[in-house]
Amino acid sequence: MSRFLSVLVHGIWKDLPPFRLVLGLCPALAVTASANNGMGMGLSVTFVLIFSNLTISLLRNIIPDKVRIASYIVIIATLVVLVEMILQAYFFGLSQQLGIYIPLIVVNCIILGRAEAFAARNPAFLSAVDGFSVGLGFTFSLTLVGSIREILGAGTWFGIPLTGPDFEPFAFLVKAPGAFICLGLILGLMNAYGRWRGENVIQ
């Protein structure tokens, strides 16, 4: 039971991607110009993570070691195509906005990383929980970055105008350089908080 809980929460703080676990940076930078896109991307990745972890864990005793990576890639890619089709059918606007970053979930290192590090040697249920936890952490981070950039960069949140007409948005934040600097500062703040709590941060 304690195992279950520790797996459930590790993705939300201890291994929170992409801040604590510096993986999956491309989507974290690319689609976080608005909170809505960040959340959509996060949820798509969560979907793929849960099911890839589950499938890989179920098949872990059948897949020979030599074709391990190839099999993982096929499984992950299948799930990504599935997500692509579902988004096109039910969330067309979002799928247009996320564009090529949806197929690029295939090469998101978080997913292959979790498959190798967790699903390949743990039972199915725990693996699915791990996928859920890491995915949730990723969704949270992307929504957070997206919110900061959208509120300060465009004056809206999930498309709802928040600031009055007197507020001149920092347009810089919704452009490419803003993404890097915003993510870098959040990472720095999290390190500072970790150090303050006395955690040993190796980065």
Taking CB under 8 A as the rule, does residue 67 contact other proteins? yes
Binding mask 6-45 for other proteins (x = CB under 8 A): ----------------xxxxx--xx---------------
E-state strands within the chain: 156-157, 160-161
Name the segment binding other proteins (CB under 8 A); options: 4-12, 75-83, 133-141, 146-154.
75-83
N- to C-terminal Cα distance for the chain?
31
Q: What's the number of CA atoms in the CB half-sphere (13 Å) around residue 167? A: 13
Taking CB under 8 A as the rule, does residue 144 contact other proteins? no
3-state helix, strand, coil in the chain (%, to 5): 75, 0, 25
Give the nearer residue to other proteins in terms of CB position, either 154 or 179.
Answer: 179
Name the segment binding other proteins (CB under 8 A); options: 7-15, 73-81, 146-154, 161-169.
73-81
Give the nearer residue to other proteins in terms of CB position, either 5 or 85.
Answer: 85
User: Distance between CA 166 and CA 93 in Å, rounded?
Assistant: 30
* Residue for token pair 């990504």: 80
Binding residue for other proteins, selected from 3, 13, 93, 125, defined by CB under 8 A: 93
135: amino acid identity, one letter: G
CB 49 within 8 A of CB 110: yes
Joined together, the tokens standing for residue 68 give 């391990």
Taking CB under 8 A as the rule, does residue 108 contact other proteins? yes
Contact set with other proteins (CB under 8 A): 22-26, 29-30, 59, 62-64, 66-67, 69-71, 73-75, 77-78, 80-82, 84-86, 88-90, 92-93, 96, 99-100, 103-104, 106-109, 112, 172, 175-185, 187-189, 191-192, 195, 203
